[in-house]
Amino acid sequence: MELYYDTEAQTLCLDRSNTRNKSFNQSFENLGRCETNLALDNDCMIFRIFVDNSIVEVFANQGKAVMTMQVFPGEEDSGVELFCNRGKVFVNVTLWPMKSAWETG
Domains of the chain: 2-70 (2.60.120.560)
Half-sphere exposure of 14 (CA within 13 A, CB side): 19
- CA separation for the pair 20, 60 (Å, rounded): 26
C-alpha closest to that of 34 among 79, 4, 64 = 4
93 or 44, higher pLDDT: 44
47 or 94, higher pLDDT: 47
CB-based contact 61:46 (threshold 8 Å): yes
11-29 pLDDT, tens digit per residue, is 999 988 776 665 666 666 6
28-86 pLDDT, tens digit per residue, is 666 778 899 999 999 888 999 988 878 889 999 999 999 998 887 777 777 777 777 87
pTM of the model: 0.79
Half-sphere exposure of 23 (CA within 13 A, CB side): 2
- CA separation for the pair 14, 88 (Å, rounded): 21
